[in-house]
Each structure stands twice: as structure tokens, then as C-alpha cells.
Structure 1
Amino acid sequence: MPESYRPHLRKDDEDKRTASQSVATNTSVSNARVQDVLTSKDAAVHTIRPQQTLHEAVEQLRDHRIGALVVTDANGDLVGILSERDIVRKLADTPGHTLPKKVEEVMTRSVETCTADDPLVTVLTRMTKGRFRHMPVVDGAQLIGLISIGDAVHYRLNQLELEALQIKQLIVG
């Protein structure tokens, strides 16, 4: 028998193995950007002016079924954010006298913002540490969106459903 001869082995017949998971797929959530969430949701950003009343704000929150309004000045520049929590705190401080108050008396003036290119994981970490649920998305000084923890959860659930469908298709064929 020549020295270069090798008998045929079972492994010679096996196809290359594939894996349904990889480093890329297992870390895809950490690669998600704020823009991915903005693309998957309603683009409308509901705003209110500082001089408007809390009554007007509460009506907008109710009518649009949202939890926060971005407060902008006449030029459209971001000057604050008004959340349900802000209103509830004021209700506790001034029961029966809250709705006529101006938005500027209750809004949060120090607003943390993010950009569309920010990693979603980083933004969610900031929201969790800061104990707030809404963050305006800006491009320079221009307001381009609003992201909430609920938006991020909804985005991730959709991604999980897609991943499950892909796995099912791999199994079924």
C-alpha cells in the first residue's frame, strides 16, 4: 500500500455542519441602534409649548395614548419633557389646582437626549439608571424622534418572533 493512501472514512460523506446561532446572532440585540427602533414605530413626536396648560397636556396624552410630551419653544427647539409622572407629582402637591398650571411649571427641564446612531443597549441603560422612560432623539439641535422603554421592548419582542420563525423554518425545512 502506498504511503499516501488513506481509506474512505464516514466523515468524508458528512456535509459541513451549520449552526443556528453564532456570535453575530447572539449579540444582535447589542448591535441594535436607536434608529432601528424609530424605523419600526410611528414617527409622530407629540409636542407641547411651555405656556400651554396641564389640562391641554393631559388631553394630548389621553388622545394619543402616550406617556410623555416633548416641550418645544416657538422655534421647535427642545426645552423640556413632560411625563405622566411629572403631572402625578404636581397632582399630589396641589390637589384640585393642578390642571390650570402651565407646562413650564411642571416639566423636566434637564432632558437627556440621544442620537439615532446610539446603541440601543446604551440608551436603555441610561434610562434605567436615570429612572425615566422617555428620551428625545436629536440630530444636532433638531428633534427627530422620541424613544421609550416600551418602544424598545416592542422592538425586541418583534425581533424574537422573527428569530423564532427563522429557527422553525430551519427545523421544518
Structure 2
Amino acid sequence: MEYSRIHKNAVKAWMIGRIIFLTIFFAIYYPVVYKLLMPRFGDMLTVKIGFNGLTFLFILFFLVNTFIMPMIQYKEWRYSIQQDRIELLNGVLIRSKVVIPISRIQYIEIERGPIYQIFHLASLDINTASDSHEIPALTLEEANEISQKLKTMIEMSDDVD
């Protein structure tokens, strides 16, 4: 079975989204910790070391999550559309394989947030009665083609039933 990949601009889009989150997080974290909490503890060295250690761990985690993880996630993301099912493969530490029977699909949505619009990307949301699944970072043309293909497949499976 052949799997398709998502668009390579996913890495840039994910990085920008995480940089925005990181900026907001530290815009709140720094004043709260260093201007509000630390002065209340005065010269307690243990508290200063604790807060500085926590800040270092946050920075390290966010740097890895922002600049390394998107590249790994991109390499691990695959999808396949078969006659009777859709298969989604993703995950870095925990690998996930989701199989969605075509007959279970209730509706399909194409979403484009502001960052995806910059990179001419879209995500395809596939909704069943019990869950929602996403194929991220497709070109708008790919998302429309897949959506149309799935709609045709759903109609054909309805006609058979």
C-alpha cells in the first residue's frame, strides 16, 4: 500500500504557530514569575534556583518542540485513501495508525487558519459519528481533490447499500 505525505510547508507552519504560542507564554510567564512571585520570596536562594531551573526546562522543552519536533512530525505523517477506507499514520514517541471506513464518514470539512493561508495549506477534517480525524498541511487543491474523491466514494457506498 502506498502512503502519501503531507506538504513540506507543514514544518514552517507548525514552527510559526509554536513560536507565536511561545511568545505569548513567555510574555505572561516572565512577569508573573520574575516580577510578581520571586520578589515575594526575597533572598531565598532555593526558590531562585527552583524558578531559574524551571525556566531553563521550559526554554529547553519549547526549543525542542518548536524547532526539532515539526521536522520529525512531518517525516512521520502519512495517509492513504483506499476504496473502502482511509489510513492515517503519525506520531513520534507513540505511533498511531487510524483506519476510517468510508462507510462511517458523516461529513468532511476543509479548514484554513491564518498561518495555513500564508503557506497556501489546508487541513481536511474527516468526521464520523464518534470522532474527528485530520489530515493536516495539504495544499488547498489536494484538500479539495481528496474531499471530492471521498464524497464520490461515500455516494457510491450509499448506492450499494
TM-score, scaled relative to structure 1 = 0.27
Identify, as 1 or 2, the structure richer in strand: 2
TM-score, scaled relative to structure 2 = 0.28
